[in-house]
Amino acid sequence: MIEVQDLRVTYRGNEVIKGVSFRLETKALLLGPNGSGKTTLLRALGGVVPYRGSARVDGLEISSLRGYTGLSTNLQEAFTLGLTLKDVLEIYEELKGLERQRAVEMLREVGIKELGKKLHNLSMGQSVLFRTAVALASDPKVLIIDEPFESVDLAKRRTVVSWLRENGKEGLVVTHELDIASSFSDFDLFMIFEGRVFGPSKVGEFLSSAVVEGEQEGSFMTVEVGGRKFSFVKGREGRRVSDLVTLDRLYTM
């Protein structure tokens, strides 16, 4: 279980995550436009950056945690040990209990066969696929997955969707792409705008909803974007979420 209470992350005096609170016992999608604080939130949950407030995994405060192997992430910062793909697999086998054969099979599924390659020489898409496969192949309970579809081609996106659905019991999958969200319609949904997290809701409910400006009675979620409030409602009123393509559209509505 991930429990976050009044979480704040500051870079050089600027608050990037602004007092976020949520509790998560299932797998959830975290949607947000570019620069909204998605990766920073994951970095805080992954213990990579310092935070104020409280962030707990299975009841354990992340800032003082040591040796908890039940959480895996594909964050780039978690892959600084190991030069080649083979190095990373060996080190993660030792440190994270990675099931190496399973990882190799997953990598083959997405066309990564040459393990002698250097991680930093992979294309963006291959790097994302590699890190996601390694994160999932250690059979984690909690997932923290950042933009697993970034620069990944369509056919491989389907494979990644099945990986994310099959692995892990709880956690956050972060994306800014609305079109991929339909593959996770049974997942919980959180949204993040300007360092504030809104939710939870259900992905399926969100995708079939419409967005209207202002606080609407009966809406299942209200978010604040650029100083304006938007409500997500069922029914035909407003603009269909499925027509938005990207959450950045809320800024120009």
Radius of gyration, CA atoms only, the chain: 18
Per the CB < 8 A criterion, the answer to whether 51 and 17 are in contact is yes
What DSSP character marks residue 8? E
Residue that is written with structure tokens 């992430």 in the block? 73
Q: Which is nearer to another protein, 144 or 225 (CB)?
A: 144
Q: Which stretch binds another protein (CB under 8 A): 70-78, 204-212, 234-242, 243-251?
A: 70-78
Containing H/E element for 104? helix 100-109
CB of 135 to another protein, least distance (A): 10
One character per residue 186-225, x = contact with another protein (rule: CB under 8 A):
----------------------------------------
CB of 36 to another protein, least distance (A): 13
Q: Which is nearer to another protein, 94 or 217 (CB)?
A: 94
Residue type for 48, please?
V
For residues 77-136, which are near another protein according to CB under 8 A?
77-83, 87, 90-97
170-175 and 14-24 as β-strands: parallel, antiparallel, unpaired? unpaired
Alpha-carbon distance of 170 to 151, in angstroms, equals 25
Residue that is written with structure tokens 């990598």 in the block? 107
Alpha-carbon torsion (176, 38, 69, 107), positive or negative: positive
For residues 1-30, which are near another protein according to CB under 8 A?
11-12, 14, 16
Per the CB < 8 A criterion, the answer to whether 197 and 190 are in contact is yes
Q: Which is nearer to another protein, 68 or 251 (CB)?
A: 68
Which pair of tokens denotes residue 54? 């409280």
Q: Which of 20, 30, 73, 197 binds another protein (CB under 8 A)?
A: 73
One character per residue 37-66, x = contact with another protein (rule: CB under 8 A):
---x--x--xxxxx-----------x--xx
Q: Which is nearer to another protein, 79 or 184 (CB)?
A: 79
Q: Tell which residue, 18, 24, 15, 16, has the closest CA to residue 6.
A: 18
CB of 93 to another protein, least distance (A): 7
Chain residues binding another protein by CB under 8 A are 11-12, 14, 16, 35, 40, 43, 46-50, 62, 65-69, 71-73, 75, 77-83, 87, 90-97
